[in-house]
Amino acid sequence: MKPVIRCSKMQFAYDRKPVLDNVNISIPDGDFVCVVGPNGSGKTTLLKLVLGLLKPTIGRIEVFGDPPDQGRRLIGYVPQNSQLDPLFPVTALDVTLMGRLGRTRPFGAWLGDDKQRAREALAEVGLADHHGQHFASLSGGQKQRVLIARALASDPRMLLLDEPTAGLDAHIEESFYRLLQSLNEKLTIVLVSHDLGFVSGFVKSVICVGREVVVHPTSDITGQVIADLYGSDMRLVRHDHRCSDGGHQC
């Protein structure tokens, strides 16, 4: 099976100053990965490289075996919802339908198929009854779920989430991770987060972004690794761990 994402000897630099250097990672199909690292560590840069919005300075990156600007068709991207205009005149269904772009005819109105797929996607995230609701009137957690439905509507093979729990309450966070866990049964999930504590109970492997990028199976995440990464010791809550096969490749 081809890896979902593969980087080999990849470097990325803004104005000759490398942000990421010698990145070698391979994310297998079906994985549930968390990309962690402190603010300014290059997490967002890595995300943009995967999405083909930036090009590596040196080395290669492949998404589903293709260059990112082709392979990204199979990525369902879930951005941070704080970047969106809260007054925008759209319903939950309108937002979800945007995921059908590229999968439908280019001109004119949405097709019946698109609407059906979008409703299914909303049902998958537990918002079947909210399709006609104004996006602005939804809670933060519901908005986040609509953005996941939008990503699911494009029939992706991988979900890529950028700081999905920023600004969510702890109890909402837990049900949110359970949703991701159930989606992981058919999709690869990659989420980017600055906060590792909670995530570690659900994910199969962790990619730490610092000057170098290191892949760990979750069982290897010790106080020492985190201290190396964040510069100070942090309390780590132990959960039951599962290790991915591709954990320690570099």
Partner 1 sequence: MLAPPGFEFFGALLDHAFLRYALLAGILASISCGVVGSFVVIRRISYIAGGIAHSILAGLGLAHYLQVVHGVTWLSPMAGSILAALVSAAIIGWVSLRLHQREDTVIGAVWALGMATGIILISRTPGYTSDLMSYLFGNILMIGQRDLWLIGGLAVFVLIVVALFHKQLLAVCFDPEFATLRGVRVQPFYFLLLGLTALTVVLLVSVVGIILVIALLTLPAAMANLFARRLWQMMALAALFCAVLTTGGLALSYGPDLPAGAVTILLTGVSYFLVVGLRRKG
* Residue numbers at the binding site for partner 1 (CB under 8 A): 51, 53, 72-73, 75, 77, 79, 83-85, 87-91, 94-95, 97-99, 101-102, 104, 106-110, 132, 134, 150, 154
CB of 167 vs partner 1, minimal distance in Å: 18
- Vertex 202 angle, CA 197 and 203, to 5°: 90
Which residue, 156, 217, 145, is CA-closest to 187? 156
The tokens 């009854």 sit on which residue?
Answer: 129
CB of 9 vs partner 1, minimal distance in Å: 25
CB of 216 vs partner 1, minimal distance in Å: 28
The tokens 């949110």 sit on which residue?
Answer: 176
For residue 9, give the H/E element and its range.
Answer: strand 5-14
> Which residue, 53 or 250, has its beta carbon nearer to partner 1?
53
> Which residue, 51 or 243, has its beta carbon nearer to partner 1?
51
Q: What is the DSSP letter of 110?
A: P
> Which residue, 13 or 84, has its beta carbon nearer to partner 1?
84
Distance CA 104, CA 125 (A): 22
CB of 221 vs partner 1, minimal distance in Å: 30
Distance CA 78, CA 61 (A): 20
CB of 150 vs partner 1, minimal distance in Å: 7
> Which residue, 14 or 88, has its beta carbon nearer to partner 1?
88
Q: What does 136-157 look like in DSSP terms, one character per residue?
A: GGS-HHHHHHHHHHHHHTT--S
> Which residue, 91 or 205, has its beta carbon nearer to partner 1?
91
